[in-house]
Structure 1
Amino acid sequence: MYTKNEILELKNRIIQLEKENKTLHETVEFLTHKLFGRSSEKTSVIAGQINLFNEVETESKPSAPEPTLQEVANYRRKKFNGQRAELLKDIPHDTVICGLEEDERFCEKCGTSLVSIGREFIRTELEFIPAKVRVIDYYRESYECRKCRKEGLPYIEKSPMPYPVVQHSMASPSTVAHIMYEKFVDALPLYRQEKEWESLGVKLSRATMSNWIMVAARDWLIPLTKLMHQKLIEEKYLHADETPVQVLMEPGRKNTSESYMWVYSTYAGSQTPIRLFDYKPSRSGNCPQKFLKGFKGYLHTDCYSGYNKVPEVIRCLCWTHLRRYFVEALPKDIKSPEATLPAIGIDFCNKLFSEEKLLVNLTPDERKMKRLETEKPILEAFWRWANSIKQSCLPKSRLGKAVDYAVKNKEGFMNYLIDGNCAISNNLSENSIRPFTIGRKNWLFSGSPRGAEASAAVYSIIETAKANDLEPYSYLKFLFKNLPGVQFEAHPEFLDEYLPWDQWVQSSCKKKA
């Protein structure tokens, strides 16, 4: 027979095992969803239930009639007059006249010759013209003064030549810009570009293309990113994020070691939008501390503690990250009672995002006042709710981690109320780093630290170009055509003319509407 104490111990052990079992089931569901489920955090709205998944909350109307099958069947995509003309307005047009041959222009009744009386428009087609390459051979003319030669004082002058983007190579500005655009915008690895060049009749190896990228980035792009870095530090509001990257041949490290690509961005209202990538072999807080040396202001990040090493900043934490924790805490069956608490957390976040949508066009001072009026009560209610359920949540459960994540970092989540220029989320930085993460899925790793640094420079130029409404390929080509030959080492101020917000650059590389 068991004693009372032994029975009590067994009951406690059973309760503990049930909790562990529940946590393990939750973990399996979460990992299964990560592997096979949708990556989007949006979910459907169920009438009569809390709106879980629309980032901007909308009022559900249970009384609204459901669409009938006939209504659904009759749905057609809305079109408007001139839609096709608007789509093709900036594309060159050629006209093809379909007429009768000369020997067919006669009347079948009387044999008289036919005369054209007009044209009838039939249709418009979009034609694809494959890319082509051409070789440009540069020659330099020499000029001689015949008079001086007769006097025994020969004088010869040679015409100036454009500087090459890569010395002692056949690389042109358009070629290097195209290779960079394909890899860093379209996420096309160099081995696939190698095949494309071969189809055009050029055997251009991936090693050659890689070397062109590294040399062009070192000579022309990195000096420009260093200038952007100086201007970034002068800002008052910044965003930061980081993501892993595998880099081969790092000194003293295995090829399987995890390195990081950091990104730093100016805030949405900046007059000089900048997006800078910085490759580092670690995720240490020393990395942002060194990069942001001299910066004083508001820093928008996730809750990673490494950013605490950056001195003299006010950290504004990301509510999108917090919302994601609650989304991940949802069970597979969102109708189950266990979905209620995560749904409430999501609903609080949705209400805040919904309020933020209404403040976009306000001035910073107006936005600050409106936030205190409309969002602070929601925040206070959220913290009361989070503290009330904290003790009842299993610490290792997804919900327990979400609540703990919120409560422990309350100050950082509230700091965006201090200044109207601060943002409720770090989405700006996440959107900047997303093209890198997409590209990483294709090219998988950087071949060397030099390659990773070159990649960081190219991504910086491309994402900064996008932020300034420039066409990335045009901007890269513009830089490689005009920067070689500029004596910016002796006169650093010359580089100011090549920054993406300069009028000359804007007029030359502006993205077409």
Structure 2
Amino acid sequence: MLDYQYLQQQLSELKRLIFGSKSERFVATEDGQLELFTEVSSITAPLDNDTIEITYKREQYTKPKQQPVRTTLAAHLPRVEETIEPEGLPIGAKKIGEEITELLEYTPSSIYVRKIIRPKYVLPEAQNIVIGSLPSLPILKGNAGAGLLAQILVNKFCYHLPFYRQRQIFKGQGVMLSEATLCGWFNATTRLLAPLYDCLEKQLLQSNYLQIDESPIKVQDFHKTKAKTKRGKGTLHMGYHWVHHAPVEGLVLFKYAPSRSKKVPETILQQYSGTIQTDGYSGYLNLTTKGSIKLLGCMAHARRYFEKALDQDASKASYVLEQIQKLYTIERKSRERDIHSTTRQRYRRRYAVPILRALEIWLQKQALAVLPKSAIGRAIAYTLKLWTKLVAYTDNGIYEIDNNRIENTIRPLALGRKNYLFAGSHKAAQKAAMLYSFFAMCKINNVAPYVWLKDVLERIPEHKANRLTELLPNHWKNFS
């Protein structure tokens, strides 16, 4: 019987993975069903008990027809005026008004050559030759400007266009660029941004609260491929991007590592002291670091187990999901009111803590009444195992109830994997992590990625090393 239930659960999860919705939204069932008709039915029973005549009145609802409203075009867009006079207009006609029609138009992006001319002069007395100073260039002795480099990287890491697709776009504009040229520009740009990335890592590790998650990425490992195949192609290594998010400071750090070993977070967090929030992965437990680290759990991961158990035990799973839904309602209301972290903490202790205490008692009782290997049994066991970490978010108002915010920052990485499939090397994966870090920070700080990167590439060659934090998206100001 237990094997049958297990196979039935596996089949249900497989069907959901292939055909089902990815949403984990839970809608609680109502206590009573709404009446089918708003009017009270009148029932007349004839003498013959075999038949009953039922009559009722119902008002037909007619949805009011709404006229479509056209969205007003953005006021900041430049207007190109075009005046069309009527044909055969007689002399003496007076203008009494005008009709204005606005159309949203598009001109394809243009690529041009920036030609810098620096005249040379000979001084009559000193016999010296003087010439104007060449402005700082992103790539020394290179022929790519900051705007072009910024657009190429934004296209790849924000809009998920691999280099070979961008080559086709440039080819359509009459510009032939080789793959080696694009890769060379990419490598040179990441070398220029490396000090800013190091500055980002130092700033992030000074935060008192971090959210951490990891996401896989396929990487071409040439050492393995050359050893196994003659051509050196076809073997991919599974690496991981370790993502760190400081919600208070608005910082994001992607860090690539070839494995998912416990040694990776120990190395990154060796000097860190503070609170980290993760999922239930055991690699974060008992980290050997020099600082003091407190662990928080993720309520969304616990909720996911119960959501999957709905098909197997709807009553128990629905009860837990309803209680978790109440906790999220408390969080939503606190965000809508935009209250201070101290007030948020008091709000949680007053409303969320009683719900959590009652839920813990219920879970402990149900753990003795369910099969351990069933879906609901695994959900209860997972939740109770991490219970102290799951409820610790109520200790401080700056903590979040789950890790959803960091998972949102990983979405561009997941979309990118579907387009370029894998990274060319371990070094390339780390360079991609650098750019994902910067662009994720642009997103959460409401900064335009292209405008930020173009400005940084123009300024960073001459920028002082001790003031690099000014160029990070959370501190950056557009001076153009």
- 1:415 aligned to which of 353, 370, 392: 392
Change (3 A) 1:413 1:216: same
1:294-313 to 2 correspondence within 5 Å? 294-308=271-285, 309=287, 311=289, 312-313=292-293
Instruction: Give 1:378's aligned residue.
Output: 355
For the 8 Å contact 2:313–2:376, the answer to whether it is kept is no
Structure 1 counterpart SS, 2:185: helix
Change (3 A) 1:243 1:95: same
Instruction: Give 1:242's aligned residue.
Output: 214
Distance in 2, matches of 1:249 and 1:435, equals 23
Instruction: Give 1:499's aligned residue.
Output: 472
Change (3 A) 1:244 1:177: same
1:44-83 to 2 correspondence within 5 Å? 44=27, 46-48=29-31, 62=34, 73-74=63-64, 76=66
Instruction: Give 1:29's aligned residue.
Output: 12
**Are 1:369 and 2:353 an aligned pair?**
no
Gaps of at least 5 residues in structure 2 are 39-57, 229-234
4+ residue runs over 4 A deviation: 43-46, 61-66, 68-73, 75-79, 250-254
Q: CA deviation at 1:203?
A: 1.5
**Are 1:344 and 2:319 an aligned pair?**
yes
Distance in 1, matches of 2:473 and 2:381, equals 43
1:252-263 to 2 correspondence within 5 Å? 255-263=235-243
**Are 1:283 and 2:260 an aligned pair?**
yes
1:36-87 per-residue CA deviation (whole Å, 9 max, x = no partner) reads 21111125554438xxxxxxxxxxx957988x996585465985xxx733x4
Instruction: Give 1:105's aligned residue.
Output: 89
Instruction: Give 1:40's aligned residue.
Output: 23
Instruction: Give 2:48's aligned residue.
Output: none
Structure 2 counterpart SS, 1:298: strand
Using the aligned pairs only, state the percent identity: 29
**Are 1:440 and 2:417 an aligned pair?**
yes
Instruction: Give 1:466's aligned residue.
Output: 443
Distance in 1, matches of 2:456 and 2:359, equals 50
Letter in 1 for 2:460: L
1:378-416 per-residue CA deviation (whole Å, 9 max, x = no partner) reads 101111121122133332332222111101111111211
Instruction: Give 2:175's aligned residue.
Output: 202
Instruction: Give 2:296's aligned residue.
Output: 316
Q: TM-score, normalised by structure 2?
A: 0.87
Change (3 A) 1:209 1:89: same
1:381-396 to 2 correspondence within 5 Å? 381-396=358-373
Instruction: Give 2:112's aligned residue.
Output: 134
1:420-456 per-residue CA deviation (whole Å, 9 max, x = no partner) reads 2111111121111111111111111101112111101
**Are 1:96 and 2:76 an aligned pair?**
no
1:78-103 per-residue CA deviation (whole Å, 9 max, x = no partner) reads 85xxx733x411111122222134xx
For the 8 Å contact 1:237–1:298, the answer to whether it is kept is yes
1:219-238 to 2 correspondence within 5 Å? 219=192, 221-238=193-210
For the 8 Å contact 1:323–1:349, the answer to whether it is kept is yes
Letter in 2 for 1:89: A
Distance in 2, matches of 1:501 and 1:244, equals 27
Q: CA deviation at 1:283?
A: 0.6
Distance in 2, matches of 1:310 and 1:368, equals 30
1:232-277 per-residue CA deviation (whole Å, 9 max, x = no partner) reads 111111111110001112645883321100111112xx2x321110
Instruction: Give 2:99's aligned residue.
Output: 121
1:474-493 to 2 correspondence within 5 Å? 474-486=451-463, 488=464, 492-493=465-466
**Are 1:188 and 2:161 an aligned pair?**
yes
Gaps of at least 5 residues in structure 1 are 1-17, 50-60, 107-112, 149-153, 332-336
Change (3 A) 1:442 1:352: same
